[in-house]
């Protein structure tokens, strides 16, 4: 029960003083007032009488209780953060790396650490100068005192730093910032032009169309001729989580069985996964699907080597087209009927590319941000380049190639980790055209952990630079038009693959923090805030449901510029990590509607097809053994992600710069750097989610 605060009985009531007086007025306009005593007129003041000592004590105790509770909550939060850091530093099961891998990214990490130490040193001088009142630059008429006026060694050091900063440090930073701002504006104009092209396509409703019914024939006996021979390839490597749903979706494609061949190209090193895939292939083979399992003994060249080995089979010569699906892709049954007819009466067409759609795009914040980037890539970049240029980078999956185009372009090469972009560039140099179908969507996954996403982005940004070095002589000496050469060199490679990660990292992760300590090189607000927000707005337009995530998207893109810049440098100078291929980890997710539709399609196939019952005892024994292998598969074990040191160090660098900007009362810089630093901090600690091993 709350204590009573009635203090009216603690002190005796004041006794009435004086004699009551009655005043009567003859004028009726005035009322009669009775006064009981000299203090009676001030009686209402008792209701708002000041608090006594007891009440003040209670109020102070309540406020102290709230303050202690708030401090305890902050302390517990900080303690939990320290515990998480300690746990991830000590129990890092997935950071067991070979000694030769420890030096990767060491140079970039050393540079960032040097910037951090320098920034902390400069911040210490700035704090002391702020406390001492040495605000020279707040006065437009700057006056540096002479040596006779200087009192104290620290003051002398600070004045020397001001002179060195203004004469030697600020000019190169200003020149570099102007160069990066110019690149930033050029890239922004390119994105605006692409967005306008997308709006024009939407307005005019421009898209590739199939004229008539390509499968309709009056001749019943020759109707099968309308369906060309199609080869479907599913390259995979240790894809335990997704192999079953991918094979199931491909085997249910609506295409004549005698004109379709499915190749499961398994490069798995785990024998248990090989047995599982073999069992899945055997199951669909018994259902009447023409499917083949292939496993290479010498697994070189990654995915390109796998595809090259499969295309060297003799029976491939009987097929006209090849469709490629990665292990996590699930095409709809009508995929071939929506894509293959575009090749009819179009002999110059070499590739038909479909769009990706993601089953786990709403799984967490990381998947939502990836969905923004990929939606812009397909909706704007791929579609605009396909409509106006008939050229774009092959996405490596969910596409149909004319086998003749592959052969005339040199086939699959193992020289880079972006074999899809490599074959697309060589086919373009040989005069083949591409078509992008934005309406045809194939279900797939995006990485759900930052570790998997980081490795994927490293491959996607190091491979193009490696390829650019190899393809540049061929582009220059090719016989295509000059404007196509300019598009390949200036836009496709330099602007979108090299300049974008360069200025993003240099401008927002290096120059912007330095301008907090070198105010002479301060960037304008439109470079820091207005233009990036506008460009982020354009990027989010293809996925309007992602508008609430525009601020995290802007910050996270700058965070990822560290990985992209590092990958770009390694690919450009052919460092060791430029030829490193790490299979992207997948979760094997499917939407509920897709699962129901898949089950319904499978039940129809079971009713229509007669299962072969003449299997020998050896085949049955093999199937039983594969089933036991599947049941005995190890259960995935949860493990803790590693801490990313470069992101963590850069986080403290940006947070240090934000403190400096707060001292200088630079509001926009402070908020941008503060939130950017927090984003780097979260990524550096990898608190986005736990990874399944």
| Residues identified as active-site | 267, 420
Token digits for 530? 């207005």
Helix (H) or strand (E) run with residue 328 in it:
none
What gap in Å lies between CA 344 and CA 340, rounded to an integer? 8
**CB-count exposure of residue 500 (10 Å: 0-12, 13-18, 19+):** buried
Q: What is 487-526 written as a DSSP string?
A: IIIIIIIIIIIIIHHHHHHIIIIIIHHHHHH-GGGPPPHI
C-alpha pair distances (Å), 412 with each of 347, 398, 583: 21, 17, 19
What gap in Å lies between CA 511 and CA 16, rounded to an integer? 79
CB neighbours (10 Å) of residue 639? 15
What gap in Å lies between CA 77 and CA 601, rounded to an integer? 51
C-alpha pair distances (Å), 492 with each of 83, 86, 187, 467: 46, 44, 12, 12
CB neighbours (10 Å) of residue 688? 18
218 sits in the region (left: phi over 0; alpha: psi -120 to 50; else beta) called alpha
Tokens 């301060």 correspond to what residue? 522
CB neighbours (10 Å) of residue 50? 7
Rounded-to-10 torsion of CA 115, 572, 557, 84 = -60
CB neighbours (10 Å) of residue 28? 6
Instruction: Check: CB of residue 290 under 8 Å from CB of residue 284.
Output: no
C-alpha pair distances (Å), 389 with each of 152, 159, 436: 68, 58, 11
**Whose CA is closest to 353, among 208, 456, 145?**
208
């Amino acid at each position: 029960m709350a204590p009573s605060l009635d203090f009216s009985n603690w002190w005796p009531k004041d006794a009435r003083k004086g004699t009551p007086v009655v005043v009567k007025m003859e004028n009726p306009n005035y009322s009669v007032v009775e006064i009981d005593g000299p203090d009676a007129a001030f009686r209402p003041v008792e209701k708002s009488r000041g608090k006594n000592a007891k009440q003040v004590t209670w109020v102070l105790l309540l406020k102290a209780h709230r303050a202690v509770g708030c401090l305890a909550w902050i302390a517990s939060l900080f303690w939990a953060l320290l515990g998480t850091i300690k746990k991830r530093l000590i129990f890092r099961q997935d950071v067991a790396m070979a000694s030769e891998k420890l030096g990767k990214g060491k140079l970039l990490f050393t540079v960032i650490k040097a910037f951090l130490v320098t920034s902390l040193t400069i911040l210490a001088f700035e704090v002391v100068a702020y406390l001492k009142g040495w605000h020279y630059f707040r006065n437009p008429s700057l006056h540096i005192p002479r040596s006779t006026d200087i009192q104290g060694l620290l003051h002398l050091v600070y004045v020397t730093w001001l002179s060195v900063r203004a004469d030697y440090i600020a000019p190169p930073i200003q020149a570099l910032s102007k160069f990066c701002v110019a690149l930033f504006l050029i890239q922004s104009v390119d994105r605006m032009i692409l967005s306008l092209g997308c709006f024009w396509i939407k307005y005019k409703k421009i898209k590739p169309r199939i004229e008539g019914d390509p499968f309709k024939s009056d001749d019943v006996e020759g109707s099968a001729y309308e369906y060309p021979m199609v080869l479907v390839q599913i390259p995979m490597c240790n894809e335990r989580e997704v192999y079953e749903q991918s094979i199931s979706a491909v085997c249910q494609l609506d295409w004549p069985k005698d004109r379709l061949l499915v190749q499961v190209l398994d490069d798995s090193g785990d024998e248990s996964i090989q047995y599982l895939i073999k069992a899945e292939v055997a199951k669909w083979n018994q259902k009447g699907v023409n499917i083949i399992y292939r496993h290479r003994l010498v697994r070189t060249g990654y995915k390109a080597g796998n595809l090259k080995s499969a295309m060297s089979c003799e029976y491939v010569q009987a097929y006209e087209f090849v469709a490629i699906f990665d292990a996590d892709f699930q095409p709809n049954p009508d995929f071939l009927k929506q894509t293959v007819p575009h090749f009819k009466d179009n002999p110059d067409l070499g590739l038909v590319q479909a769009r990706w759609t993601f089953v786990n795009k709403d799984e967490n914040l990381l998947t939502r941000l990836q969905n923004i980037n990929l939606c812009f890539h397909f909706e704007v970049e791929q579609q605009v380049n396909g409509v106006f240029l008939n050229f774009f980078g092959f996405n490596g999956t969910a596409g149909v190639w004319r086998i003749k185009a592959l052969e005339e372009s040199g086939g699959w090469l193992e020289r880079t980790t972006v074999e899809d972009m490599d074959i697309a560039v060589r086919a373009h140099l040989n005069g083949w055209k591409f078509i992008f179908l934005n309406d045809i969507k194939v279900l797939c996954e995006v990485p759900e952990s930052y570790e998997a996403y980081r490795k994927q982005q490293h491959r996607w940004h190091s491979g193009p630079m490696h390829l650019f070095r190899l393809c540049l002589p061929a582009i220059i000496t090719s016989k295509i038009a000059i404007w196509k050469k300019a598009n390949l060199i200036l836009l496709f490679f330099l602007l979108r693959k090299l300049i974008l990660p360069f200025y993003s990292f240099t401008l927002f992760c290096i120059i912007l923090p330095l301008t907090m300590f070198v105010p002479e090189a301060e960037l304008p607000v439109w470079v820091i805030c207005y233009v990036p927000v506008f460009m982020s707005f354009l990027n989010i337009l293809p996925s309007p449901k992602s508008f609430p995530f525009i601020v995290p998207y802007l910050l996270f893109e700058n965070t990822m510029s560290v990985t992209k810049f590092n990958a770009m440098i390694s690919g450009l100078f052919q460092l060791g990590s430029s030829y490193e291929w790490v299979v992207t980890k997948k979760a094997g997710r499917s939407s509920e509607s897709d699962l129901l539709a898949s089950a319904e399609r499978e039940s129809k196939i079971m009713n229509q097809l007669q299962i072969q019952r003449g299997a020998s005892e050896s085949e049955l024994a093999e199937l039983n053994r594969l089933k036991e292998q599947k049941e005995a598969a190890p259960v995935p074990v949860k493990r803790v992600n590693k801490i990313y040191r470069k992101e963590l160090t850069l986080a403290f660098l940006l947070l240090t710069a934000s403190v400096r900007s707060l001292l200088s009362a630079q509001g926009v810089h402070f908020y941008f750097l503060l939130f950017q630093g927090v984003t780097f901090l979260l990524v550096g600690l990898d608190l986005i989610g736990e990874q399944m091993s």
